[in-house]
């Protein structure tokens, strides 16, 4: 029996040579105040080799869990949702793309005259969903029906300057995993993105150990727990680890140090 497979990605979606869609950019940002209306463009492309796609636009909400994975919710169910502020043209709610065809969509965000929640930032998710499942074959050679959904994250904040603040709450060495366990919180009223850089030094020999830089994304109030794997096994000895969270210019750095022994 054929089965329906629903695949969801934020970036390029391409299941096989038979069917796929690309929606770009993966994120759009609105910077506007109460009572104003702003429009951004997104591009939807049918990258399928031979299948026409019937597509529909819908809205939802989302946030991150503790480790930064996306969690999806119905529209207008999160306290920071702006899904009800977003619209597209009626003619763009449903459309068909031939193989290789692309279409630009105007996404308009209209801020109410009075924002009841008094939050400085809001988010939503715009879905582009395939409505006509197509035949495909899974990795085991079984016949399946494939339907694709792609999402664009939408961010809104007021035009007022908002101070960004990230605070490290905990930093530990996990000997069993040969990694550092980092916990920090976005204390800002808006989202904060950035990069985590780490350096580990054997305080006796001076040998440095590599930890790959990591990009992070957070929403206002998020607590994030991150595992920072150490590339090589540590020798026995005493170590100093320094972690830098860079989320803007030189004035927006959060730094923590940890001294530990590896037995």
Pair 72, 125 in one domain? yes
The mean per-residue pLDDT over the stretch 75-91 comes to: 96
Q: Which of 148, 133, 131, 125 is nearest to 58 (CA)?
A: 125
Both 132 and 17 in one domain: the answer is: yes
What is the rounded distance in angstroms from the CA atom of residue 254 to the CA atom of residue 194? Answer: 11
What the block records as the tokens of 80 is: 């920071």
C-alpha to C-alpha distance for 96 and 231, rounded to whole angstroms: 48
The residue from 157, 183, 199 where one domain ends is: 157
Task: Identify whether residues 173 and 246 lie together within a single domain.
Answer: yes
Tens of pLDDT, residue by residue over 123-135, are 999 999 999 887 7
How many structural domains compose the chain?
Answer: 2
DSSP one-letter code for 230: -
Residues 6+ apart with CB under 8 A from 259: 203, 238, 239, 240, 241
pLDDT confidence of residue 19: 64
Give the global pTM.
Answer: 0.86
- Report the pLDDT averaged over residues 76-86: 97
> What percent of the chain clears pLDDT 70, i.e. is strictly above it?
90
Q: How far apart are CA 263 and CA 258, in angstroms?
A: 16
How much is the pLDDT for 4?
A: 40
DSSP states of 136-165: EE-TTS-EEEEEEEEEEEEEEE-SS-----
State residue 58's pLDDT score.
97
> What CATH number should be reported for the domain holding residue 31?
2.60.40.10
Mean per-residue pLDDT, 65-82: 96
Beta bridge partners of 166: 186
35 and 105 both lie in a single domain: yes
The H or E element containing residue 181 is strand 179-186
Whether residue 24 is found in the same domain as residue 128:
yes
């Amino acid at each position: 029996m054929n089965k329906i497979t629903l695949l969801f990605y934020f970036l390029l979606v391409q299941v096989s040579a038979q069917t796929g869609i690309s929606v770009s950019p993966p994120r759009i940002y609105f910077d506007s105040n109460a009572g104003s209306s702003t429009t951004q463009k997104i591009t939807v492309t049918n990258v399928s080799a031979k299948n026409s796609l019937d597509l529909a636009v819908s809205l939802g909400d989302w946030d991150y869990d503790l480790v930064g994975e996306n969690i999806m919710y119905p529209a207008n169910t999160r306290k920071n949702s702006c899904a009800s502020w977003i619209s597209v043209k009626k003619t763009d709610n449903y459309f068909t793309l031939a193989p290789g065809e692309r279409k630009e969509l105007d996404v308009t965000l209209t801020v109410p005259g009075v924002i009841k929640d008094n939050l400085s930032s809001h988010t939503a998710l715009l879905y582009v969903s395939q409505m006509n499942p197509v035949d495909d074959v899974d990795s085991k050679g079984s016949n399946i029906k494939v339907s694709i959904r792609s999402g664009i994250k939408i961010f809104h904040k007021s035009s007022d300057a908002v101070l960004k603040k990230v605070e490290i709450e905990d930093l530990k060495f996990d000997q069993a995993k040969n990694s550092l366990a980092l916990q920090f919180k976005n204390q800002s009223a808006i989202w904060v993105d950035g990069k985590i850089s780490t350096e580990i030094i054997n305080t006796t020999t001076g040998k440095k150990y590599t930890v790959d830089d990591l990009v992070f994304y957070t929403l206002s109030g998020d607590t994030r727990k991150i595992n920072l794997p150490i590339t090589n096994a540590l020798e026995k000895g005493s170590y100093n680890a320094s972690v830098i969270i860079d989320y803007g210019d030189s004035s927006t750095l959060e730094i923590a140090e940890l001294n530990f022994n590896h037995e």
